Chains A and B, each alone.
Chain A
Amino acid sequence: MEKRLICLGVCITVTAFILAFALIYTGIVPLAPTGNRPLATIFLESTFNAEKWWIWAGSPEVVTSILWDYRGIDTVYETTVFFLAIIGAITVVRTMKLLPETSGKGRGLTVIAKTITKITFATIPIIAFSIAVHGHLTPGGGFQAGSAFAVAPLLVIAALSLRLLVERGWGKERLLALRTTGLILIGIIAIIVPILAILRHSIAYIMQNQAKLWAPAGLSAVVDLLGVKSLLSGTLFWLNLSEFLAVSAGLSLVFVLLAAPTKNFDKEVKTQ
């Protein structure tokens, strides 16, 4: 048995190296590339180029501007796919009622773990909100911020208890409502520029951010915010905030549902 496994490992390793050689020397993948492809150069040069205002996105962060501006509709559908996965998860546990009385004893771990969890729990939402707000300036964005935020309820479930979380109002219905609110906000921001364009008797596309040559409507990139000229990059800032709301509520919902005790509905599944 041992000899067979070692033989298999050696064979797989040798095959991997041969495949890597083949991939490189047939030119399918680049070996130590010495420059960017033309498309990448176009994106890198034009996202924050105020002189090419007809193709710019108004954001110095190239990944966010491709994600929410140039390929915006794709990202909206991707968020919808995640929403559908959460809906499927809720369907699996649809007969379960999440009440404080039925969500565990609520004892938690030791005092050491509880104290450190409280300190960490206070900082996680701040960091997540910071990532979401700076999503159009630095690497990060709505999804990353939401994933960071969802660590907070996970920590509370692990160290304190699920019961505390449910007592404080992190129930199933409220989180689902927040998730839906985030998705609706994304939809509204997607059609806000066309609505503005209709009011001004011009044309615009869905998910349009900055003004184009043939569609001269758009939100301005630099906004006067309480007397300070701030770079909000048009719709990108608001899209990041809505995605942050949607993803943080959705992932928290997933964690709460996965942690819920199942005594009250185990029988039901078995008799189905």
Chain B
Amino acid sequence: MIKDIVWIYYYASLILITFMSIYGIAVRPNLLKKIIMLSILSDTANMLAVLLGYHILSPKPPVYPGGTFSTTQFPSQEQLSTFAKYAVDPIPQVLVVTAIVIGLAVLVFLSFVAVLIYRRYGTLDMRVVSKKARHEVK
């Protein structure tokens, strides 16, 4: 019962942070705050992916059998199957590493666009920027 409540709390808090970041992207007029909220949203999605691969089975953390820099001994089949039973799912973590790099690329590009907008219009308030841009077109 306690376990159920804890897991519902995990998912509910992630969904709550998602809602809050979407609110920030939609409502806040400052472009910098929009970018911060976007990065929080992508981090929450990554967190959800990692949580999907997570489980607690062993009371102690699993350590990979073998694997130092000068090892030539490979682990036995029993050690490997024990490790595979207790370790968490690696696939969501791999996807998250990829997603973090892509998110960083998006963040870099968005920050440079924000710099450009600030140099051109002198503000990051999107209401003012859109008014000025409309004026320029006319």
> Are any A and B Cβ atoms less than 8 Å apart in their complex?
yes
Given A24-B8, A36-B84, A48-B64: A89 touches B112 (CB 8 Å cut-off): yes
- What residues of chain A lie closer than 8 Å to B56, measured between beta carbons? 32
Give Cα A71–Cα B120 distance, bound, in whole angstroms. 42
List, in ascending order, chain A residues with CB within 8 A of B116's CB.
92, 269
**Contact, CB under 8 Å: B69 / A134:** yes
Q: Which of A1-58 contact B (CB under 8 A)?
A: 12-13, 15-17, 19-21, 23-24, 29-37, 39-41, 43-45, 48-51
Q: Is A197 part of the binding interface, using a Cβ–Cβ cutoff of 8 Å?
A: no
Count: A-B pairs, CB below 8 Å: 163
Bound-state Cα–Cα, A67 to B72, Å: 23
A80 to chain B, nearest CB (A): 10
Find out whether the CB atom of A84 lies under 8 angstroms from the CB atom of B105. yes
Contact A29 B69 (CB under 8 A): no
A interface residues, Cβ below 8 angstroms from B: 12-13, 15-17, 19-21, 23-24, 29-37, 39-41, 43-45, 48-51, 60-63, 66-67, 71, 74-75, 78-79, 81-82, 84-86, 88-89, 92-93, 134, 137, 141, 143, 222, 228-231, 254, 257-258, 262, 266, 269-270
Q: Which residues of B contact A51 (CB under 8 A)?
A: 77
Q: Are B102 and A81 in contact (CB under 8 A)?
A: yes
Contact of B55 among A34, A45, A85 (CB under 8 A): A34
Q: Please report the C-alpha to C-alpha distance between residue A68 and residue B109 in the assembled complex, in whole angstroms.
A: 25
Contacts known (A78-B98, A230-B70, A266-B119); A40 close to B90, Cβ less than 8 A: yes
Q: Which of B40-62 contact A (CB under 8 A)?
A: 52-57
Instruction: Name the CB-closest residue of A to B64.
Output: A60
